[in-house]
Structure 1
Amino acid sequence: MRTRSFLEYTISRRHNRRRSRQQQEAVTLIPDPIPMADDRPMAEQLQAPTGGFESAIVVPPINAQNFELKSSLINLVQNRIFRGGNDEEPHAHIRHFESITNNQRYPDVPNTTIKLLLFPFSLDGVAKTWLDKEPPNSILTWDDLVSKFINFFFPPSKC
């Protein structure tokens, strides 16, 4: 099925130079098909994309009933923010963060899950940008997060 009209052109050619009569030959040119527009409604096409913005940290499913992080715990973590400056020590930040989170107990919620949930609240500036630039779903465990954090802010070359 043709969706566009095709064009016919007549091209004159000389098959034999000795003859003065020109033979006419019809050539049909079909233009390249243009891809059809998206079938979605215009309002949907104009919306900003929402996919591909997953967090780097994968938090395991929580089986506890009515689990929520208390705002007081988040405020406690945010009292000592790591910004990623040269004068900040990433090892000290991890030690301080673990001292806060190790004292928190929730039934049916592993402590490492609480750490993974809270850690983004302890970052700002360059450190927050580092976490945002990590590939989606690339941090699966607390040990993985600590390893990537320390290697970025305290690389082996500083030892």
Structure 2
Amino acid sequence: MTSRTTRRNRTETLINPTNEELARLERQNRQRRLTAAPVIMAEQDNEMAAQLQLLRDQIAQLRREQPQAPQVQPGIGDSDNPHAFYQNRSAIVSPTIQRQDFEIKPQMISLVKQHLFHGLPAEIPMDHIENFEEICSDYRFEWGSETWDEVRAAFLDHFYTKSKTAALRNKISSFQQHSGEAFCEAWERPKEYRRECPHHGFKDEQILGIFYDGVEWDYRNALNAAKQWRLYDQD
């Protein structure tokens, strides 16, 4: 009984702050946070700047350690060699064939015969090479890729004569939009001309200027109004 009476008689002092005191305490805490925030942000910015500078130094060090390849000046007539500019124009990448055996099947011979190349002025050697490589991509040949590279280079150099190359380059330099031709169709023609003649020798800025000068006035004014218009934005 005595113990219970003692616990009941024990008094504790309770603090009941007023609303004004609570508001004052909240303002003080808010002020502390506002004062500490710029210091924390400055420390974070300094840390990020240090990390960025360290990354820049590492990149610069790697560039200094990387051996510089000697720059080879192009010689006279180098731009007339189409095989030097050859690249696969297709966006489709075929899977690698693991089998080592090879057999010329009648179906393959038939496919090749359906796409014969006669060397006519209207034919594009690059199209024939790509079509042939696409047909042969499903088969595994015993000879190395270097052998085919030599055959392809000889074929392109033989059928891309100087007169044919000059004619294809002239198609690019003399581009003009046809009467009633849609803008998108007109844009596709210079792109196709470049595909037909990969060794055309024009820079992207030059082709863009040729296209700009060749379109009708309405489209030219629209291009003038467009901001930051670039050649590859239209691909």
The structure carrying a bigger strand percent of its residues is: 1
Asked if Structure 1 and Structure 2 have the same fold, meaning a TM-score greater than 0.5 normalized by the shorter chain, the answer is no
State the structure with more CA Rg. 2
Higher relative contact order (Cα pairs below 8 Å, separated by 6+ residues): 1
Q: TM-score, normalised by structure 1?
A: 0.36
